[in-house]
C-alpha cells in the first residue's frame, strides 16, 4: 500500500513538472512572439517600399512617354495643317492659271482660227513677218508654260495631300498612344493606392521610416559629393594661387533667380501624375513651370537629357535622369515633385542624375 502511494506521488510530481514545462511550449514566450511580429511588419514595409518605388519609376517613365507622345502629336498636327495650307495655296494658283488660260482660249475662239495666218500673211515686209512670228511663238510658249505649271502644281497638290494624310495618321496614332499611357498610369496609381490601403498601421509607420532613411541616405550622399567638389575647387584655387572659400551656392528669396524663385513658390503642392499646374505637378510639369512661368510642359526627361550638360551646376539648372527631374538649388539639393502621395519639396539630388542647362 505504501509503495503504491509513493508511486502515485512520484507520478503526480512528474505530471506537474511536465505541465509546467509544456506551458511555454504551448503558448510561446511574449518576447519571441513580439520579435516575430516586428520582423513580419518590417518585411511587409520593405516589400511595400520596393513595390511603390518600382511603380513610381514606372509612373515617371510614363510621364516622359506621355509628354513625348503629346509633343509628337502636336508636331504631326502642325505638319498636317501646314500641308493643308500649302494645298489651299496651290489650288489658288491653279485657279488663277486656269482662269488665264480660259481667257486666252476664249480670245482665240472669238478672233477665229485664221487670225494667226492672217497676221503672218498680212505682213508688209519680212521684218514685220519675223516680228509677228516671234510674237506668236512667245504667246504659244507662254501658254504651254502655264499649262505645264498647272500640271506641276496639281502634282504638288497630290504630294501635299499624301503628306496631309500621313501626318493626320501619325497625329491620331500619337493621340491614341497618349491615351493608352494615361490609362495605364491611372491603373498604376490605383495599384499604389491599393498597396497603401493593404498595409497594417505598424507597417505603414515602418514604411515612412524606411522612406525617411532613404531620403537621409540620399542627402548624405549629396552632401558628400558637394564637400568633395568643394575640396577639389579649393585645391584648384590654391594651386592657382587664389584665395577665398568655396561652398555650394545657396538660395536667398528674391535674388532675381526667377527659375529657383518659381520652383520655391510651388512647395507643398501635391504630386499628381501628368499635372502641369497650377494646383499640382508631376516632375517635368514642375520643371516646365519653373523654367517658363507657364502651366505647360516644355519638355520631358528625354528632352532634358539632350540639353547641354554642365560640370559646374548652378541654382536654376536642371538635374535629370531618364525618368525623373528637378530644379537644382545648390548644395546638392533640388526642388522636385517626387511621387504619388507626396508634395513638391526640397530633397537631395538623386544618384546618377546629370545637370543640364536650358539652351
Output the nine-digit C-alpha cell for 8. Answer: 502515485
Please report, for residues 121, 192, 234, 301, 340, the alpha-carbon distance to residue 55 in angstroms, rounded to integers and kept in the order given: 92, 7, 42, 17, 10
The residues assigned a catalytic role are 283, 324, 336
Residue 123 Ramachandran class (φ > 0 left, ψ -120 to 50 alpha, else beta):
beta
Identify which has the larger pLDDT, 334 or 138: 334
Distance CA 336, CA 325 (A): 7
Cβ density class 132-143: b for 16+ within 10 Å, e for less = beeeeeeeeeee
- CA atoms lying within 13 Å on the CB side of residue 20: 6
Judge contact between 331 and 250, C-beta under 8 A.
yes
Distance CA 349, CA 222 (A): 6
Range(s) within the chain of domains with CATH label 1.10.287:
38-186
Identify which has the larger pLDDT, 299 or 228: 299
- pLDDT value, residue 247: 42
Decide if pLDDT at 293 tops 90: yes
- pLDDT value, residue 149: 78
Average the pLDDT over each of 99-108, 300-309, 328-337 and give the range with the smallest value: 99-108
- pLDDT value, residue 234: 59
Confidence of residue 228 (pLDDT cuts 50, 70, 90): low
Identify which has the larger pLDDT, 228 or 85: 85
| Four-residue CA torsion sign, 157, 159, 161, 164 | negative
Helix (H, G, I), strand (E, B) or coil at 243: coil
Range(s) within the chain of domains with CATH label 3.90.1720.10:
216-232+257-356
Confidence of residue 33 (pLDDT cuts 50, 70, 90): very low
List, for residues 39-86, the tens digit of each pLDDT value. Answer: 888 888 888 888 998 999 999 999 999 999 999 999 999 999 999 999
Three-state secondary structure of 266-281: CCCCEECCCCECCCCE
Helix (H, G, I), strand (E, B) or coil at 333: strand
Distance CA 58, CA 53 (A): 9
Distance CA 48, CA 300 (A): 28
Please report, for residues 8, 28, 211, the alpha-carbon distance to residue 43 in angstroms, rounded to integers and kept in the order given: 51, 22, 14
Q: Please give the model's pTM, rounded to 2 decimal places.
A: 0.66
List, for residues 81-106, the tens digit of each pLDDT value. Answer: 999 999 999 888 888 877 776 666 56
Identify which has the larger pLDDT, 284 or 248: 284
Distance CA 94, CA 157 (A): 10
- pLDDT value, residue 5: 39
Q: DSSP states of 198-224 as a string?
A: HS-HHHHHHHHHHHHHHHHHHHHHHHH
CATH top-level class of 216-232+257-356:
alpha beta
Judge contact between 323 and 303, C-beta under 8 A.
no
Confidence of residue 253 (pLDDT cuts 50, 70, 90): low
CATH top-level class of 38-186:
mainly alpha
Mean pLDDT of the chain: 78
Amino acid at each position: 500500500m505504501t509503495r503504491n502511494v509513493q508511486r502515485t506521488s512520484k507520478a503526480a510530481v512528474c505530471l506537474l513538472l511536465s505541465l509546467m514545462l509544456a506551458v511555454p511550449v504551448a503558448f510561446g514566450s511574449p518576447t519571441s512572439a513580439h520579435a516575430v511580429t516586428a520582423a513580419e511588419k518590417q518585411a511587409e514595409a520593405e516589400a511595400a517600399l520596393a513595390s511603390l518605388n518600382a511603380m513610381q519609376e514606372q509612373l515617371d517613365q510614363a510621364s516622359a512617354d506621355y509628354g513625348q507622345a503629346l509633343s509628337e502629336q502636336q508636331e504631326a498636327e502642325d505638319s498636317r495643317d501646314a500641308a493643308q495650307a500649302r494645298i489651299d495655296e496651290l489650288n489658288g494658283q491653279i485657279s488663277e492659271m486656269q482662269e488665264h488660260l480660259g481667257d486666252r482660249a476664249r480670245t482665240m475662239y472669238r478672233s477665229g482660227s485664221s487670225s494667226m495666218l492672217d497676221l503672218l500673211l498680212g505682213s508688209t515686209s519680212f521684218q514685220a513677218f519675223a516680228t509677228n512670228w516671234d510674237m506668236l511663238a512667245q504667246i504659244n510658249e507662254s501658254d504651254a508654260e502655264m499649262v505645264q505649271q498647272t500640271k506641276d502644281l496639281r502634282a504638288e497638290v497630290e504630294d501635299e495631300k499624301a503628306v496631309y494624310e500621313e501626318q493626320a495618321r501619325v497625329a491620331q496614332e500619337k493621340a491614341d498612344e497618349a491615351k493608352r499611357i494615361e490609362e495605364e498610369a491611372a491603373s498604376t496609381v490605383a495599384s499604389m493606392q491599393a498597396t497603401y490601403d493593404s498595409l497594417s498601421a505598424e507597417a505603414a509607420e515602418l514604411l515612412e521610416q524606411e522612406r525617411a532613411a532613404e531620403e537621409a541616405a540620399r542627402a548624405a550622399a549629396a552632401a558628400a559629393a558637394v564637400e568633395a567638389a568643394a575640396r577639389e575647387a579649393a585645391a584648384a584655387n590654391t594651386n592657382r594661387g587664389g584665395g577665398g572659400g568655396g561652398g555650394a551656392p545657396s538660395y536667398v528669396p528674391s535674388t532675381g533667380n526667377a527659375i529657383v524663385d518659381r520652383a520655391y513658390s510651388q512647395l507643398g503642392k501635391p504630386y499628381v501624375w501628368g499635372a502641369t499646374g497650377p494646383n499640382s505637378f508631376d516632375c517635368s510639369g514642375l520643371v516646365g513651370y519653373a523654367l517658363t512661368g507657364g502651366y505647360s510642359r516644355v519638355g520631358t526627361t528625354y528632352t532634358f537629357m539632350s540639353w547641354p550638360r554642365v560640370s559646374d551646376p548652378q541654382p536654376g539648372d536642371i538635374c535629370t535622369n531618364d525618368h525623373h527631374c528637378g530644379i537644382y538649388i545648390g548644395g546638392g539639393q533640388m526642388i522636385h515633385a517626387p511621387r504619388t502621395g507626396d508634395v513638391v519639396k526640397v530633397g537631395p539630388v538623386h544618384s546618377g542624375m546629370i545637370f543640364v542647362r536650358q539652351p
